Amino acid sequence: MNLRYSIFTICFSLLCCCAIPLPACGPSIYADEGRMQLFRNGLDGLKGLEPFYYSERFLNSYSADPGGEDYKRNCAEWRQFTGNKASIDDIYAIQYDTDPKAFLDACAKGDRKFFGNNTLMLWLLRKENKAALDYMILAKRAESTQFRDADPWVDSAKGSQEMPGELAGEALNRCRQVKQQFLKERYAFQALKMAYYAGPTLQNRQPVLDLYPALLDKSSSVVLGWAQLFYGMQQSDPLQQTIYLLRSFDHSEEKKVFCYQQIGRKTLDSIMPFIKDPYTLELLHVVKGMKTYGSAFEQIKAVYTLNPHSKYLPLLLTREVNKLEDWIWSPELLGFNGISFEDGTIKRAPYNKPYAQQDSGYAYYAKLNLDQDKKRLSELLGFLEKTTEAPGRNKDFVTLCIAHLHNISGNYEQARQWTNTLEPMQDKHYEIQRLIEATIAFAYTEEVTTPAAKDRIATNLLRMNELNPAFLKSLQKGSDPNRFYSADGEEEYDDDMAELFLLLSNRYKAQGDLLTAGFLYTKAAVMRNTYDGWADTSDANYQFIAYFDREASPATIDSLLAFKHAKRRTVFEGLIAPVRWANEDFYRDLKGTILVRREQYHEALAVFAAMDPNFWETHYEYKSYLPITTITNLGTLSPWDEPQQARYYTLSSKKQIVAEVTRLQDSLNLRLPAETKAKLNYRLGHALYSLSYYGKAWMMMSYGRTSREQWQAKGDFAYYSFYPNSLRYGNNYYGCANAMAAYNKALTLSRNKELKAKCLLSLTLCDNAAKYMRDSRNGLYTPQPYRSAYLQQLERRYAGTMAYEAASTTCPDIARTGY
């Protein structure tokens, strides 16, 4: 057996194991979970613009008109046309809920029972309203042509055999015959729509197209925007087509997404010099701004210049603020970074070059982008602050934008001053945003650990939840196994409380209150690029302790358990308290594990001794990863030792492992001969090596272990990382420093050549592991040729020992270059 193989290949084959089960196909991020967004969509915009806000659901709304605004306008116009004889609900039922084929069959058969007491149908069926009924029948006939490609085996979906061209001609003729302007406009719209769907099969298109300037161009009806779409799509001139698509975008809601998709960015640039009227030019800049994935500040300024009261400015400003909080906050708070748009690719530095010397690569471009984004934020702030000097209907909205931008940039005192200029607002969406800004600014300008500060924050949080009860319900989604697979489309809109909790957690951590910080972080369950575990129903799931594993001290765990059993809690404590608690022994296990990391083994033993002795056998992944044989024997990693390994009296137990370490420590404190102490130190070295990343008892120190681990790496959301504990305990966990100290002490105390040879062999094992840690710390991930000084000393002085012979027999290349 090759020494390099025995020391490293066996170790690294074990590294492929992971104590945390992961999804078979790898994790994914859904519905804005990789993006920090606390400036809310739609504050002063229009409901129909929802698909265009800065969101991962961009253009993926379940409806092109999420608020149903066009449907409402259409029904309202019909109600007015009926002289208020038909109700809105009944009009909606006929227009949008009644299958066209079923409607046509009922009308053909004179089946009044089919319509029941629907007030619109009762009005349409009157003799004097026959013209309106005739139009509704034609509209349903036109609608039925839309189902031509439906499943032919389903009778209700077979659709009409009528051709759109025929219907276009019929609508044209009726438009000329009817007298009511209401029906004329709707027939004109139907004719234009059917002409578009008829395509080249329509022989005489111009009379239909002439209906638009004659009847619709000056209309105030909802059909204007719909007609502009179909009229525009039939224009051969790209300039005219784009102009009418822009107008349709403005005048309709349900056609907005289609219009947006038909308008190309290059087309907008090419026609801009030919657009003279301010109205169309404003729309051009609006759509261009929506199509700009980088900064759209130039389009915002252009729209403001053309129309300071533009209804689209709130949308564009919201998008810009959302971009800036994503670009600046998301890397800091969530750890998810985007690719640099400036250079188009990630230029990676050579892996054998120390990180500190890397002058290219992702980190360089990330910093470059961050600096540019902060500059963009400053420019937008200056622009918005100037706009507040002029009167306008968006002043409150702009004030909230300014406050939020100050909060993003860390200018919390300025954010507080701007927020304080606003009184509590009647509009709940505005008020929620005001409370978000006020809470952030207050938390980061006050000593938040005081009872008064916590009461103030709790008051704001409860008021937010009163305005939107979904907020508190969205917290601690980590307890739901389906947390990443929700399809209700409201994740980003309703997770503001969770993202606010994350910000508050950072603030409490900075002020030293790790218990509050941990509760806020855990309850928020915000997706970060940090491994927090994967949800399940267990009461010993890593999500319960992930934050505390990274940040807590043993005293923090004591406070946590005291909090759990407190008979009375303040309002603030009630808000941050976990929805679900872990098994109490899981928290105790963490406390004991932290003590093991600190090498406070006697204290750790006291903690483990107070736990249920069967806990490690029945919870988490302990049974699979805690050894059942003594940690003072390394097995195949040290073929120079006796092969027998004593078994523990129980199967999985941290208590018995720590008890063995404490017995060795206690023995070393006794007055014993030097040779005896040397043997004890050698065994202690094996025990401490077993507790390292490479040892069989690594779960005494860590809750996960993957082949992707590096000494200083933060890891990501998909893979467990020991960071930041690697910074505190990495010398022992990855570098085996304490094990090497024990081996060196044994080497110094002993005069026995065999034991000295074993110590040097073990030190070689540790030294190679420490070399991996040093390389990782210095950014060198390609193994370099290395021959340990301990191995050289072994060869010079102890080549004739049985230990060396055993190692040489098992590892024939022991004399050649190692790692």
Question: What is the Cβ-side half-sphere exposure of residue 744, based on CA atoms within 13 angstroms?
Answer: 9
Q: Which residues have C-beta within 8 Å of that of residue 218, sequence separation ≥ 6?
A: none
Residue 146 DSSP code: G
Instruction: Specify which of 296-300, 367-371, 805-809 reaches the highest per-range mean pLDDT.
Output: 296-300
Cβ-defined contacts of 215-222 (< 8 Å, 24+): 215/175, 215/184, 215/185, 215/188, 216/185, 216/188, 216/189, 219/185, 221/77, 221/182, 221/185, 221/186, 222/70, 222/73, 222/74, 222/77, 222/252
Model confidence pLDDT, tens digit, residues 60-110: 555 688 889 999 999 999 999 999 999 999 999 999 999 999 999 999 999
Q: What Å distances lie between residue 384 and 322, 395, 399, 675, CA to CA?
A: 15, 10, 8, 79
Res 1 pLDDT > 80: no
At residue 293 the predicted structure's pLDDT band, cuts being 50, 70 and 90, is confident
pLDDT the model gives residue 46: 73
Q: pTM, whole model, 2 decimals?
A: 0.86
Distance between CA atoms of residues 366 and 781, nearest Å:
22
Give the side-chain half-sphere CA count within 13 A for 588.
19
Q: Is the pLDDT of residue 814 over 70?
A: no
Beta bridge partners of 647: 629
- Whether the Cβ atoms of residue 537 and residue 481 lie closer than 8 Å to each other: yes
pLDDT per residue over 447-466, tens digit each?
999 999 999 999 999 999 99
Average pLDDT over residues 246-259: 95
Query: For residue range 654-664, what is the model confidence (pLDDT) as tens digits?
Result: 999 999 999 99
Nearest CA-CA partner of 235 in 191, 279, 196: 196
pLDDT at 598 over 70: yes
Contact 27, 717 (CB under 8 A): yes
814, 787 contact by CB (below 8 A): no
CB 526, CB 37: distance < 8 Å: no
Closest CA to 80 of 181, 174, 154, 153: 181
Mean pLDDT, the chain, as a whole number? 87
Residue 311: the pLDDT is: 93
Placement of tokens 């992971």 in the chain: 18
| pLDDT confidence of residue 755 | 97
pLDDT value of residue 30: 54
β-bridge partners, 716: 719
Please give the average per-residue pLDDT across 343-359, as a whole number: 41
What's residue 474's pLDDT?
A: 78
**Per-residue pLDDT reduced to its tens digit, 608-620:** 999 999 999 999 9
Note whether 754 and 720 are within 8 A (CB).
no
d(CA 337, CA 35): 9
Name the phi and psi angles at 308, rounded to 5.
-60, -20
Residue-level pLDDT at 473: 83
pLDDT at 482 over 60: no
Q: Contact 605/572 with Cβ under 8 angstroms?
A: no
Token duo for residue 712: 């200083």
- CA 461, CA 500: separation in Å to the nearest integer? 9
Q: Is 323 in a helix, a strand, or coil? A: helix
Query: Quick check: 813 pLDDT over 60?
Result: no
Strand partners, 321: none
What's the rounded Cα separation, in Å, for the pair 427 and 467?
A: 10
> For residues 201 and 163, is the Cβ–Cβ distance under 8 A?
yes
Q: What are phi and psi of 162, to 5 degrees?
A: -70, 150
**Per-residue model confidence as pLDDT tens digits over 736-746:** 999 999 999 99
CA angle 396/397/398 to nearest 5° reads 90
Please say if the pLDDT value at position 155 is more than 70. no
Q: Is the pLDDT of residue 358 over 50?
A: no
- At 15 the pLDDT is 34
CA R_g for the chain: 36
Tokens 């009375």 sit on residue: 568
CA 406 to chain centre: 23
**Is the per-residue pLDDT at 16 higher than 80?**
no
| pLDDT of residue 260 exceeding 90 | yes
- Token readout for 244 is 């009418």
User: Residue 803 is encoded by which pair of tokens?
Assistant: 């230990």
**Rounded CA separation 358/372 (Å):** 20
Cβ neighbours of residue 563 closer than 8 Å, sequence gap 6 or more = 515, 519, 569, 573, 577
| 517-545 mean pLDDT | 92
Q: Looking at residues 587-599, what average pLDDT do you find?
A: 98
Rounded CA separation 231/223 (Å) = 12
What is 95-143 written as a DSSP string? IIIS-HHHHHHHHHHT-GGGGTT-HHHHHHTSGGGHHHHHHHHHHHHHH
**19 pLDDT more than 90:** no
How far is the C-alpha of 443 from the C-alpha of 321, rounded, in Å?
A: 21
User: 3-state SS string over 610-664?
Assistant: CCCCCHHHHCCCHHHHCCCECCCCCHHHCCCCCCCCCECCCCCCHHHHHHHHHHH
Q: What is the pLDDT of residue 781?
A: 59
Percent above pLDDT 90 for the chain? 70
Write out the DSSP string of 345-356.
S--PPPTTS-GG
Q: Is the pLDDT of residue 148 over 60?
A: no
Helix axes 362-387, 395-409, angle to 10 degrees: 150
Helix locations, 468-525, DSSP H: 470-473, 491-494, 496-510, 514-524
Mean per-residue pLDDT, 376-389: 94
pLDDT above 50: residue 350: no
CA distance 110 to 338: 63
Q: What is the tens place of the pLDDT at every residue in 700-740?
A: 999 999 887 877 777 788 889 999 999 999 999 999 999 99
Residues in the chain: 819
Mean pLDDT of 120-141: 97
Tokens found for residue 650: 């129980």
User: Largest alpha-carbon pair distance within the chain?
Assistant: 119
Please return the burial class of 63, using the count of CB atoms within 10 Å of its CB with bins 0-12, 13-18 and 19+: middle
The reported pLDDT for the residue numbered 345 is 38
Report the pLDDT value the prediction gives residue 23, as an integer from 0 to 100: 37
Lowest mean pLDDT of 169-178, 584-593, 689-698, 711-720, name the range: 711-720
Contact 184, 39 (CB under 8 A): no
- The long-range contacts involving 641-646, CB below 8 angstroms and separated by at least 24 positions, are 641/758
- 634-691 pLDDT, tens per residue? 998 899 998 888 898 878 899 999 999 999 999 999 999 999 999 999 999 999 999 9
